[in-house]
Amino acid sequence: MIQFNSVFINVMKFCPDCRTEYTDEARVCADCSAMLIGTLPAPDPMDTCDVCGGDMGLDSDYCPRCGTLYAADQYSCTRHPLHISTGVCIVCQQLFCDECLTRKGVYHLCPDHALVEISEGWALVHTSPDYMEAEIVRGKLESHGITTNPRNTGNIATLADGFIDNALGRTIFKYPLKIFVPVEQYFDAMEVIAHREPEEGNGDA
């Protein structure tokens, strides 16, 4: 705060990571622990994918949200070196040809990840009819810094008369609890669920 003729002016400060604005005497972001700065840098220029409408960098070779390929150069398929790749698997971020790719809506998936359920940038990593078990998995993932998006958490007793909200009821009603994570955290989440520490760099292109 600066004082001019007994008038106090709040000096604005910002977190360079989450871009949160501060007006007090704080020096460190309460959420990110980053040192605050006086001026935020301009955000990186973005472009929009023609297929899914997702944000992508101006110089991006592909859309990270759906896997649509925008590269001017031609690249070989990961599985078939003599074939030209036509898209990127959004889970493993590897290049594949039409013969390999499966398209679920706008999303491109390779043979290894064709069965992964994808929903608006989230990937399903765990399904269970048992609420407590699902909560344990969710807590474990979040303790490792992985963002979770639980679904089907509503009480099934309010959805169908006569059903009890337990594992048997959810199995009969086909309404299991599902835990989704951001697609880019899929590999780390699967490592955690398998009781292993996530390795850095998994899933990077």
Cβ pair 43, 85 in contact under 8 A: no
pLDDT of res. 10? 54
Please state, in angstroms and rounded to a whole number, the distance separating the CA atoms of residues 85 and 95.
Answer: 6
Distance, CA of 23 to chain centre: 31
Angle at 116 between CA 167 and CA 125, to 5 degrees: 50
Report the pLDDT value the prediction gives residue 28, as an integer from 0 to 100.
81
What pLDDT does residue 205 have? 41
Contact 141/135 with Cβ under 8 angstroms?
no
Cα distance between residue 174 and residue 176, in whole Å: 6
| pLDDT tens per residue across span 186-202 | 999 999 999 755 555 55
Collapsing DSSP states into helix, strand and coil, what is residue 69? strand
CB 193 within 8 Å of CB 126: yes
What pLDDT score does 2 carry?
43
* Predicted local distance difference test score (pLDDT) of residue 169: 53
Would you tell me which CATH number, out of the four given (3.30.70, 3.30.450, 3.10.20, 3.40.50), belongs to the domain 118-193? 3.30.70
pTM value is: 0.64
Q: Which residues of the chain have pLDDT under 50?
A: 1-9, 203-205
CATH 3.30.70 range(s) for the chain read: 118-193
What's the pLDDT at 7? 47
